[in-house]
Amino acid sequence: MKVLKVPARTIAVFILPCLLLYVCLVFIPILVSIYTGLLKWDGINQAEFVGLANFREMFLHDPVFWPSVRRTLLYAVASMLEIPLCLAMAILLNRYLRKGNTLVSIYFTPVILSVVIIGQLWKTVYNPTSMGGMLNGLLISLGLDSWTHNWLTEPKIAMFSIYLVSLWQYFGYHLLIQYTGVRNIPDELYEAARIDGADGIKADRYITFPLIVPIFKISMVLAFIGSLQAFDLVMVMTAGGPAHATDVISTVMYNNSFLSFKYGYGSSIATFLVVLCLVFTVIINFLFNKLERKFS
């Protein structure tokens, strides 16, 4: 087999523009954010270098910060729980439905809607009965009056109400990824397995799961890292309330940077978020690399 040798200079011509763009748009803003996190600065007046004081305040004295980290991690874990369900549904659609693509397209619809529209839509669903809330109205019509709640204003329930909306919004997105991966597995493999007596779950165990692991990993990374950066849906639905009960890391960063004019402190929270994303990306990749080696 002939291997096409491309001169290093040609490779550099194609890679350098993208690399420079990536450095300018990703690495330099991160470095600026890290430096700004070392300042006491309102974003307008003269900044004062305070070293690690912002990080010390964030880790040791901010009563809102650690609960927001816990909620963000729960948000990320909750978003990953739907991916095995998406995979199971993708396998069933591929196996038993001729027009599975149509159903996947229908499930994908919420992904293309604006988050503002989705947030406003679900706010009306969660509204109290007196304001025409659909969910409470449905529960009452089913005789489940005791199950009704003020879904977005009760501190113990509000965050779970947002988790549910996020799961609904991105279910089609992960279903599409899993379905595409399953569809790309050659039918010949299943036919050969069927001749050997392996069908159904057994075929999935030895063919589908090993071949879908890289796709599954991508879906997991996208879900987890995307959820760590959750911001828009929370801002539209509750803006972090009631009483910080739905604050996540991004909303705490936003409130400090742009509402409290503590730009330096907000940058230190942004730095923490970047490090958190990097750490979990490495961990997920490490775990799935081990899984891929096991199946290979």
Contact (Cβ atoms closer than 8 angstroms) between residue 204 and residue 84: no
Residue 274 is predicted with a pLDDT of 93
Residue 94 is predicted with a pLDDT of 87
Residue 191 is predicted with a pLDDT of 87
H-state helical runs in 113-262: 115-126, 134-141, 155-183, 187-195, 201-203, 209-228, 232-237, 249-254
**Buried b or exposed e, range 160-195, using 16+ CB within 10 angstroms:** ebbbebbbebbbbbbbbbbbebbeebeeeebeebee
- Residue the block writes with tokens 């450095």: 23
Contact (Cβ atoms closer than 8 angstroms) between residue 54 and residue 38: yes
Residue 3 is predicted with a pLDDT of 59
Say how far apart CA 185 and CA 141 lie, in whole Å.
46
Residue 100 is predicted with a pLDDT of 80
Residue 1 is predicted with a pLDDT of 52
pTM of the model as a whole? 0.87
**Segment holding 48, helix H or strand E:** strand 48-49
Burial class (CB in 10 A: 0-12, 13-18, 19+), 229: middle
CATH class of the region 63-295:
mainly alpha
Question: By three-state DSSP, how is residue 185 classified?
Answer: coil
Neighbours of 106 (CB within 10 A): 10
Question: By three-state DSSP, how is residue 40 classified?
Answer: strand
Mean pLDDT by 10 residues, the chain (296 residues): 71 89 92 94 91 95 95 92 92 85 88 92 90 89 91 92 93 93 90 83 86 90 88 92 92 94 95 93 88 75
Neighbours of 254 (CB within 10 A): 21
Residue 294 is predicted with a pLDDT of 76
Q: Which of 52, 238, 86 is nearest to 162 (CA)?
A: 238
